[in-house]
């Protein structure tokens, strides 16, 4: 039986290198030149390229993609280990070519795009010449595709899209939008007439599609195949979110422990107070449990498929938001009044937890999925009593020894005596 919790020494060296790169180059870049990764300014882009060249030299660029698509083809498990490091540093996932929402969109294009579509959109996305967004959720229907109203209607050589989408993350900054309609998935350039991005929210955009006309070849995959494409995309996206969430939980935990050893209250450092120790112990346990869930899910995908890992991914999805909320709140509380400000990352982490609980489907939906899938492997018991009803099991056990009792009455007398003794104990 193969069951290994270790990281290969050579890959661990790469992870250590990633940590150094994030601390010494990426974090300073983020603090002084925010959003440099998406800048159109050639001088600012020149600051980004040397970092990305180093990442590519290490073979860590677009780690989730197969070799024929420009990645190293290492799979989801190495990506999980990498994201545990880079997920805590703002632009690091993008600098490594592994940022949402582009990762899921690239996977969808790779799986369902025609050769022409891949050349037109996938290759530029891999090279970060263009950026994308995923336009799925609707104001009246949330993430339930059965309630969607956005439609695409053929008109001559074009599709005409009408509808309204809500919470299209990074839609304003995207070059192309993957729009989920009732009858298919469509690629829409953001500057297409009729794409109306509303002023608010500023990051997760509200977009109205008003008679948006696109060529017929902008349909991705089969007509009426949007649900299948969405499941392919969201499955990977959910576990990628969880990988990066672990990184943020670890950062919050590090801040919690550092602060606990640095501050005094009632005559001793706060790390010596039992309430603080409880917060540290609970946080450590929750992070480790989430991490094992994610690594096992990633391993399952690598050894089978995203579909085979569906129950695991759904479990990971609703667990990560809860762990992020609990750990970041404990860290914020131990930090004290400073934790309530935006002078540390904690307030943003805590505020992000509700978003993580809703993004890519509400947690409640995923809990239903897990329960339904788990229950498929069970059957109702017969009669009045459950399988573990002790009197019935004892009666069956005595039947098992019937021949022994018949051959030597001593054993039956001994069993009767033990039964009487056990009853007396109760």
Per-residue pLDDT of the chain (426 residues; tens, 9 = 90+): 567 888 999 999 999 999 999 999 999 999 999 999 999 899 999 999 999 999 999 999 998 887 777 678 888 999 999 999 999 999 999 999 999 899 889 989 988 999 999 999 999 999 999 999 999 999 998 888 999 999 999 999 999 999 999 999 999 999 999 999 999 999 999 999 999 999 999 989 999 999 999 999 999 999 999 999 988 787 778 899 999 999 999 999 999 999 999 999 999 999 999 999 999 999 999 999 999 999 999 999 999 988 899 999 999 999 999 999 999 999 999 999 999 999 999 999 999 999 999 888 889 999 999 999 999 999 999 999 999 999 999 999 999 999 999 999 999 999 999 999 998 886
Q: Residue 234: which H helix or E strand, with range? A: helix 226-260
Closest CA to 88 of 344, 363, 359: 344
User: Would you tell me how many other CB atoms lie within 10 Å of the CB of residue 147?
Assistant: 11
161, 204, 209, 225 from 176: Cα distances, Å: 15, 15, 14, 19
State the burial class of residue 380 (Cβ atoms within 10 Å of its Cβ: 0-12, 13-18, 19+): exposed
Question: H-type helices in 304-381, by residue range?
Answer: 310-335, 346-358, 363-375
Distance from chain centroid for Cα 265: 38
Query: What's the confidence (pLDDT) of residue 215?
Result: 98
Query: What's the confidence (pLDDT) of residue 115?
Result: 95
Range(s) for CATH 1.20.140.10 in the chain?
A: 227-375
Query: What's the confidence (pLDDT) of residue 2?
Result: 67
Q: Residue 43: which H helix or E strand, with range? A: helix 42-57
State the burial class of residue 296 (Cβ atoms within 10 Å of its Cβ: 0-12, 13-18, 19+): middle
Question: Going by CATH, does the domain composed of 132-220 fall within 2.40.110.10?
Answer: yes
DSSP character string of 235-302: HHHHHHHHHHHHHHHHHHHHHHHHHHTT-EETTEEGGGSHHHHHHHHHHHHHHHHHHHHHHHHHHHHH
CA distance 189 to 182: 19
Global pTM exceeds 0.85: yes
Query: What's the confidence (pLDDT) of residue 426?
Result: 67
Question: Going by CATH, does the domain composed of 227-375 fall within 1.10.579.10?
Answer: no
User: CA-based diameter of the chain, in Å?
Assistant: 95
CA distance 272 to 278: 10
Burial letters 243-272, b for 16+ CB under 10 A, else e: bbbbbbbbbbbebbbebbeeeeeeeeebbe
Query: What's the confidence (pLDDT) of residue 1?
Result: 55
Asked whether the beta carbons of 89 and 124 are under 8 A apart, the reply is no
Range(s) for CATH 2.40.110.10 in the chain?
A: 132-220
Query: What's the confidence (pLDDT) of residue 69?
Result: 72
Query: What's the confidence (pLDDT) of residue 234?
Result: 76
């Amino acid at each position: 039986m193969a069951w290994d919790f270790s990281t290969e020494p050579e890959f661990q060296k790469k992870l250590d290198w990633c940590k150094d790169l994030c601390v010494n180059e990426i974090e300073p870049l983020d603090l002084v030149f925010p959003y440099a990764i998406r800048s159109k300014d050639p001088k600012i882009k020149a600051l980004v390229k040397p970092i990305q060249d180093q990442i590519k030299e290490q073979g860590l660029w677009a780690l989730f993609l197969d070799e024929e698509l420009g990645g190293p083809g290492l799979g989801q498990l190495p990506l999980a280990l990498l994201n545990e490091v880079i997920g805590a540093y703002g632009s690091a996932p993008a600098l490594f070519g592994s940022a949402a929402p582009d990762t899921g969109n690239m996977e969808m294009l790779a799986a369902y795009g025609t050769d022409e579509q891949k050349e037109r959109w996938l290759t530029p996305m891999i090279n970060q010449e263009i950026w994308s967004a995923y336009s799925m959720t609707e104001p009246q229907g949330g993430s339930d595709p059965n309630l969607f109203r956005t439609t695409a209607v053929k008109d001559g050589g074009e599709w005409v899209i009408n509808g309204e989408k809500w919470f299209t993350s990074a839609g304003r900054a995207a070059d192309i939008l993957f729009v989920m309609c009732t009858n298919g998935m469509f690629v829409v350039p953001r500057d297409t007439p009729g794409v109306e991005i509303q002023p608010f929210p500023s990051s997760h955009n509200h977009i109205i599609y008003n008679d948006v006309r696109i060529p017929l070849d902008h349909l991705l995959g089969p007509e009426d195949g949007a649900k299948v494409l969405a499941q392919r995309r969201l499955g990977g996206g959910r576990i990628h979110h969880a990988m990066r969430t672990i990184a943020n939980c670890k950062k919050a935990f590090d801040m919690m422990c550092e602060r606990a050893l640095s501050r005094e209250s009632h005559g001793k450092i706060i790390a010596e107070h039992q309430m603080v120790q409880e917060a540290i112990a609970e946080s450590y346990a929750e992070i480790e449990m989430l991490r094992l869930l994610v690594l096992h899910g990633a391993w399952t995908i690598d050894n089978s498929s995203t579909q085979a890992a569906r129950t695991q991914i759904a479990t990971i999805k609703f667990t990560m938001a809860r762990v992020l909320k609990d750990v970041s709140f404990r860290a914020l509380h131990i930090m004290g009044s400073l934790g309530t400000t935006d002078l540390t990352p904690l307030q943003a982490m805590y505020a992000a937890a509700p978003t993580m609980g809703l993004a890519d489907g509400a947690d409640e939906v995923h809990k239903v999925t897990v329960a339904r899938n788990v229950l498929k492997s069970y059957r109702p018991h017969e009669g009045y009593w459950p399988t573990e009803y002790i009197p019935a099991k004892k009666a069956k056990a005595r039947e098992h020894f019937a021949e022994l009792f018949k051959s030597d009455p001593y054993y039956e007398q001994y069993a009767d005596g033990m039964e009487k003794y056990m009853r007396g104990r109760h």
